Chain A
């Protein structure tokens, strides 16, 4: 069965600094998708970034980028120039093509001024 592990329950970063959130997953598939979702206090789940496993290039969305290591089954999220609005729960998720989304347990990110 596929699993997603986020080993950092909490992380903190100072405003304008860079922080990396870790995620590992277990699968025997070769074709799948990986996601990072942000959940602010409003509770809304917001898609931050998406990576397709067949693409070797790491996905980037403005200040958010990933380090996708397929062989190591690792999918970390880097947030550059952190802002107060980045404070939230961050969930890593895995989806096999045509199948269900599986979430990790989340990392709570605090941003200090």
Chain B
């Protein structure tokens, strides 16, 4: 049972580049979410989805897009990376109020 799988684990981008952070879960959970973790600020919600075809914005959505075409996958897209998006990104799926986190992606934008 893989749980929540995030790829890549590390990524370095140049300002203005685009990329997609992948997230997949094999637990058939409807609710999935993306967080970013910055020093001294805890985890902040970027976007979330309550099921396939349904997404909504969280606390810090600017600069990020998401889609949910299947229950399993919830990719996070950076359209034009900025240094302010340097962070650790976590994907999570939720069942019965308990969140299951992926291992995180450390992203640096130069």
Contact = CB atoms under 8 A, between A and B. Distances in A.
A91 B42 contact: yes
A33 interface: yes
A68 to B, nearest CB: 16
Interface string B30-47: 000101000011111100
A78 B104 CA distance: 27
B98 interface: yes
Given A100-B48, A100-B58, A44 B43 contact: no
Interface of B: 33, 35, 40-45, 48, 58, 88, 90, 92, 94, 97-99, 101, 103-104, 106
Interface of A: 4, 9, 33, 35, 42-45, 47, 50, 91, 95, 97, 100-106
